[in-house]
Amino acid sequence: MKKLFFFCLLALPSCLQAQSTPWSQKMTATIMATYPDSIMYKGGRVAHWDYEMGLVLHAITQVWYRTGDARYFNYVKKQMDRYVNDDGTIRTYDLSKFNIDFVTPGRSLLMLYEQTLPNKEKYRKAADLLRKQLAEQPRTKEGGFWHKQIYPNQMWLDGLYMAEPFYAEYTKLFDQDGKDFEDIINQFVWMEKNSRDAKTGLLYHGWDESRQQKWADPKSGKSPNFWSRAMGWYAMALVDVLDYVPATHPRRSELVTILQRFMPAVVKYQDPASGCWYQITDRMGDKGNYLEASGTGMFVYALAKGVRLGYLPQSMLPVAKKGFDGMLKNFITTDNDKLAHLEKTVLVGGLGGNPYRDGSYEYYLSEKIRQDDLKGVGPFIMASVEIEIAGEPKVGKGRTVAVDTYFNHEFRKDQNRTDRTDGPGQQEPFHYTWEDRQHSGFWLWGTTFRDLGAKIATVPTAPTAASLKNVNVYIIVDPDTPKETAKPNYISPADTKAISDWVKAGGVLVLMANDTSNCEHTHLNQLAAQFGMQFLPKNVNMVKNDQFEQGRVDIPANNAIFPSTRTVYIKELSPIAIKSPAKAAVTKENDVIIATAKVGKGTVFAVGDPWLYNEYTDGRKIPATYQNFQAGKDLATWLLKQTTP
């Protein structure tokens, strides 16, 4: 009964609605109920720092990004804090083993570091330790990472996922010149070159540069079989690393080309009946071969994400959906406590070692399969998240949502680049930017727009017909006062005319003010007046300390903008005075909290606070009663629907 109770707590919003709970959340509920304190397998094995934990925690982080539910974040933090000491050392981690599997949990370290938490420097120090391992990791003559020190001269497909996504994100955060992206891209290039089969396009599990291993072909050094999970690791690594390699990097296209060359080869071996993939990829129907969960989940994830981000053609999305449906039919079971379980994940697959693994067909089929093996559960959760995103109505397709950084142009000390050599006190833009993942940014809201099919952009200059030409939704938020920026860019009459003309032609304008002490109202109101709105010189919903009820705003049923939201939190805001064409959309007592206006072919949305930044949407600041994350999704959907083709 305890498990059932825990599941009820996790199901959103209640067990009575369990049928509508996405599979990513169902499977995460199973993991959190099974391992409430530390992730470890049953049978008494001591929990330790390893890639399986890292994989699952990264998957759960994606569920947090998808829901804004802080329980998922708190679970990841709790698990990592079991290992990371205050001085940045990692319990049970041994750098001297040069095991590339140990790098994988570093992705959660970087996420925690970026969230501006107390004691966050310990996560940076721990990440630095893993980066030190990569700097010293033994390499092949070309420069490819050995899989482990105990496997000399060998590159395995698995290792690309174990190291490269962390390596790429670390480089983006801390490497001021980005030189390490060359090394990261080379790892994929060398792995493909040394393991690819020209006939099938598939990749062999491992490659031995020395040709000394009994499993290695004496001429090529390749292992003898195609293992689905090994190729799944490589595919997931490709789509994840591309999140961090700059769009302007001259060799980024090499990774996309490898993905576009590799995934069609994988698709050819999808079982047409089940939609899943076999343990040994190219031997469908052969004696002893079976449909395997982890490889299938990894392929589904890579395919769906690759399509979503435009690396792969739309024709591959039905392949991914068929694979996910196949997983539900062939691998998912439910126990008496209504917890979901993943079946048929092979326990392990390796090469060499003691006892010796010869990479034969018979070897791969001899390994045990296990329920809820983390190497299957993690990819299943991530695949589910991608399929959920794919199922969203793409109301933003072909649309661009841009946030202004001209009127709001704040800077802070670059917190990540503590090792910069180009002078002290270097500054970076922040506050209401898409890139800012800390509480001050719009990163989560930007993710929502992207999930709905829109592109996000920034307008760093004064608004003109040219700068707004390809923008469908333009967000002006909290224009600067001299207190925030030494020389603010005030909204000028020319700016007002350019924006008004753009709205009349069909643009969708979002005006987010702030309380009177933190927002430049005079010039903002000159713009707002064009649409029958004025931000008033008073503050409402003033909140003392953590008395969150003082910031409560109720959304009436059947509200056109917020159909799925009932209660939100908006504190210390400026109410709005309206006249035609403006109309009240949300009120509290006698104050207009949110207003809209139809002007020409365009639409204006106005609110007296920038209430959808990360601090108030990621679930960690305010009680779960307040549905700001869902409100952000509702608003994004509504704004995109107001745009014209």
Catalytic residues: 158
Partners of 370 in the beta sheet? Answer: 345
Which backbone phi and psi does 208 adopt, to 5 degrees?
A: -110, 110
- How is 569-581 classified by DSSP, letter by letter? E--SB--EEE-TT
Residue 190, both tokens: 């060398």
Radius of gyration of the chain (CA): 26
Residue 426, both tokens: 């270097």
- Identify the three-state secondary structure at position 588: strand
Partners of 476 in the beta sheet? Answer: 511
Residue 193, both tokens: 């070159």
Q: For residue 260, with 0-12 CB atoms within 10 Å meaning exposed, 13-18 middle and 19 or more buried, which class applies?
A: middle
- Measured CA to CA, the distance from residue 339 to residue 333 in angstroms comes to 8
How crowded is residue 89: how many other Cβ atoms within 10 Å of its Cβ? 13
Length of the chain: 645
Which backbone phi and psi does 470 adopt, to 5 degrees?
A: -105, 15
Helix segments in 367-510, DSSP class H: 374-390, 443-451, 493-504
Asked whether 101 and 50 are in contact (CB, 8 A), the reply is: yes
- Measured CA to CA, the distance from residue 59 to residue 438 in angstroms comes to 20
Asked whether 357 and 157 are in contact (CB, 8 A), the reply is: no
Q: Say which residues have a Cβ less than 8 Å from residue 558's Cβ, sequence separation at least 6.
A: none
Compute the half-sphere exposure of residue 244: CA atoms within 13 Å on the CB side of its CA: 24
- Measured CA to CA, the distance from residue 611 to residue 58 in angstroms comes to 27
- Measured CA to CA, the distance from residue 2 to residue 411 in angstroms comes to 49
- Identify the three-state secondary structure at position 14: coil
435-449: b (≥16 Cβ within 10 Å) or e: ebbbbbbbbbbbbbb
Q: What is the DSSP letter of 47?
A: P
- Measured CA to CA, the distance from residue 481 to residue 77 in angstroms comes to 37
> For residue 436, which amino acid is it?
D
Q: Is residue 308 within a helix (H) or strand (E), and if so which, with residue range?
A: helix 293-308
Q: For residue 415, with 0-12 CB atoms within 10 Å meaning exposed, 13-18 middle and 19 or more buried, which class applies?
A: middle
Reported in sequence order, the residue ranges of 78-178 that DSSP labels E, i.e. its strands, are 154-156
